[in-house]
Each structure stands twice: as C-alpha cells, then as structure tokens.
Amino acid sequence: MERIELKHGGGGRASQDILKLFLKYFDDDILKGLEDASILNITGEIAFTTDSFVIKPRFFPGGDIGKLSICGTVNDLSARGAIPKYISVAFIIEEGFELCELEKIIMSMAETAKGAGVRIVTGDTKVVEKGKADGLYINTSGIGIVKIPGISAHNVKPKDKIIITGTIGDHGISVMAKREGLNLDVDVKSDCAPLNKVVEDLVPLSNQIHAMRDPTRGGLSATLNEIARASHVNMKIYESEIPVKDAVVNACEILGLDILTLANEGKLVIFSSPEVADDVINILKSNPQCKDSKIIGEVYDGEGIVLMETVYGTERIVDMPAGEILPRIC
C-alpha cells in the first residue's frame, strides 16, 4: 500500500495495517494496549487542552504539521503552568494521501513528543473521500500536571512586567513566505518548539508569575488584548524593546503584514511581578531557546486597552486583529 484508501478508516483489517504504521513510531506501552480509552494514574490538579492543526503547507522551514501538532498542545499546557504528560493524536486523512508523507509526519510527531518528554497514549484515525479534506488534519489533546498554580489570563496585576521569550513573527512569516514562494533570509524559520522545559525552569519563581500564554494565532496583538480584557488592566509595550529579526520586518513590509499579529509557535508571553522580572529574564536566558528574552512593557490600572510606544516616540492602540490575518497558520 502506498496511499491511504477509504478502507483504512473502516475499523476492519485495513485499519489494523495503518495502526501498525502508527505503532512503529508511537512506541508507548499504554498506546499499544489499543484500548478505546487509556488508563492514567494522576493525582492533583491537571491541565487539559485541545487543538486541531490544519496548517498549509504541511512542511515549512523549521517544522511540519506533525511537530507543530505536538508543540501546540505541549505549549498550551505549559502556558498554564503545567508539565505536559500525556497526549492524544487524532488524524483526519484524505483518501489518496501518500503513505510516505504520513510516515514522515508520524516520525516527526514521535521525535517531538520524545524530546518534550510527553507520552502519546491514545489516538484515532478517520479517512474521508478525495476532495473532502486537504491532505490531512491532526488534532492533539493533552493532559499536564500543574506545577505553577494560579497561572491565568485573569490573574495579571498592575505593575506586572510583560516579558517575551524571544523574537516574534518567525513562524507566521516563514509559513507565509513558503506559501507565497518568497525567498527569505536563511535564519528565518518557524520557531516551532516545545516550551515545557522553559516553564519548568521558572517553577522556583512560581508565586510571582501571574500569567503566561503562547502568542499563536493572532500573535502578540491578540494575546495581549485577550489578557488585558480578562484581567481588566491596561498594558503598554515599547516597540523598540520587542525582539524581531530584520528579515521578518522586511518580509512584513513586502507582504503588508503587521508583525504584532503574526503567529508564534515557540514563544511565551510572561507576566511577572516587577520584583522578579530581571530574575525571570536571567533564568530564561540560561536556555538557548530563550536567549533573546526581553521585558517589552508593563501593566497599568485600566479596562483592557493595549498601547504601544512606537520607535518614533508616538503612541498607538494595539487592537485585537480583525479580518482574515493569515488563514491556516497552525
């Protein structure tokens, strides 16, 4: 067999063949039990999240849909102060999809999960007719153990510092460039990466960290606005402090995109009390993944407005992005 056929989704003998391909790489004793649900032993507070991945193209500089599907869920758990432990994987595959590409994606998922220390423990595969999907879509859901309690978009306080763990826009611009056939600087690629180790490093400062979020769809604009509204505060960020690669700035100018709305897949926005902000930066910078970490602004009393002081010294409102932005960026 070289391509996915409808029979692979039927629940019969052909489904078992495709299962073997998954189990070749998703080599986990719990998964191998092939039960309808997997039994896990857990005590305490857990975090639970879900995400579907429909990114186009499926392979892009710095990653692929498989790597992204693991990182996305690992990062949503991490951003709630949880250590990701268990992941489910569910595939919707279009009839005719090439098995060698599926295998590449599975390998990438397995490798990313292993690197992040999460176990793939349950899964599902559906096949739809040719023309009823765009290759394949992946859903991952995840369970983590809460290590930094109280982390919440509703928990940001006036005077908190706003920290970003590195350059912004890399994922959005590299996917967009690949899609449009634009050649970018070689050092611009998706930042797609798991963030759980970054969060683990921050556990000693846990009672001073109030909120974290990975600014994916809608970018920094959406994330800051959502949190400002949820916590009923205003925010001010400084354009000059926001780490961004020159090539990303240039590509945004060519493509007419706002850097602040571009998706990131390996960054965290962290809100900490001002007393520990420098300590947070120091801890972050000890991890090469976060070497460009910066304090980019602070929180004020208010009602949910985000302002940016531009490099020209003027102020503008950073609004919730409107319109299509970049469809299928994750």
> Which residues between 17 and 36 bind its own copies (CB under 8 A)?
33-36
Does 194 bind its own copies (CB under 8 A)? Our answer is no
Cα(229)–Cα(236) distance, integer angstroms? 14
The tokens describing 131, both together, are 């023309």
- Give the amino acid at 311: V
Using the contact rule CB under 8 A, the part of the chain among 13-21, 189-197, 286-294, 299-307 near its own copies is 13-21
Q: What's the min distance (Å) between Cβ of 36 and its own copies?
A: 4
Q: Is 169 in the site for its own copies (CB under 8 A)?
A: no
Footprint on residues 211-250 left by its own copies (CB under 8 A): 213-214, 216-219, 221-222, 226, 230
170 binds its own copies (CB under 8 A): no
Q: What CA–CA distance (Å, rounded) separates 287 from 224?
A: 24
Give yes or no for residue 127 binding its own copies (CB under 8 A). Answer: yes
Maximum alpha-carbon separation in the chain: 67
- Check binding of 79 to its own copies (CB under 8 A): yes
Contact between residue 198 and residue 212 where contact means Cβ atoms under 8 Å apart: no
Whose Cβ is closer to its own copies: residue 169's or residue 247's? 169
Size of the site for its own copies (CB under 8 A): 88
Contacts (CB under 8 A) with its own copies, residues 82-121 = 82, 86, 88-92, 121
As given in the structure block, the two tokens for residue 307 are 């302002």
Verify binding: residue 124, its own copies, rule CB under 8 A: yes
Which is nearer to its own copies, 20 or 313 (by Cβ)? 20
Please state, in angstroms and rounded to a whole number, the distance separating the CA atoms of residues 221 and 106.
33
CA-closest candidate to residue 321, choices 213, 225, 179? 225
Binding segment for its own copies among 75-83, 100-108, 157-165, 240-248 (CB under 8 A)?
75-83
136 to 155: interface string for its own copies, x by CB under 8 A: -x-x-xxxx-x-----xxx-
Q: CB atoms < 10 A from the CB of 82, how many?
A: 26
Residue among 155 and 250 whose Cβ is closer to its own copies? 155
Q: With binding defined as CB under 8 A, does residue 180 bind its own copies?
A: no
Cβ atoms 191, 170 nearer than 8 A: yes
Smallest distance, its own copies to C-beta of residue 85, A: 10
Query: Residue 330 to residues 56, 66, 95, 224, 253: CA-CA distances in angstroms?
Result: 8, 11, 22, 19, 22
259 binds its own copies (CB under 8 A): no
- Give the footprint of its own copies on residues 31-70 (CB under 8 A): 33-54
Beta bridge partners of 301: 233
Nearest to 67 by CA among 173, 191, 248: 191
With respect to its own copies, which residue has the nearer C-beta, 5 or 279? 5
Closer residue to its own copies (CB): 82 or 177:
82
Distance (Å, whole) CA 127 – CA 40: 28
**Segment lying near its own copies (by CB under 8 A), choices 2-10, 109-117, 196-204, 288-296:** 2-10
Alpha carbon distance 114, 119 (integer Å)? 7
| Minimum CB distance to its own copies, residue 73 (Å) | 9
Amino acid found at 101: E
Q: Which is nearer to its own copies, 288 or 327 (CB)?
A: 327
15 binds its own copies (CB under 8 A): yes
Per DSSP bridges, beta strands 119-128 and 82-94 are parallel
The DSSP symbol for 286 reads T
Question: Rule CB under 8 A: is residue 77 a binding residue for its own copies?
Answer: yes
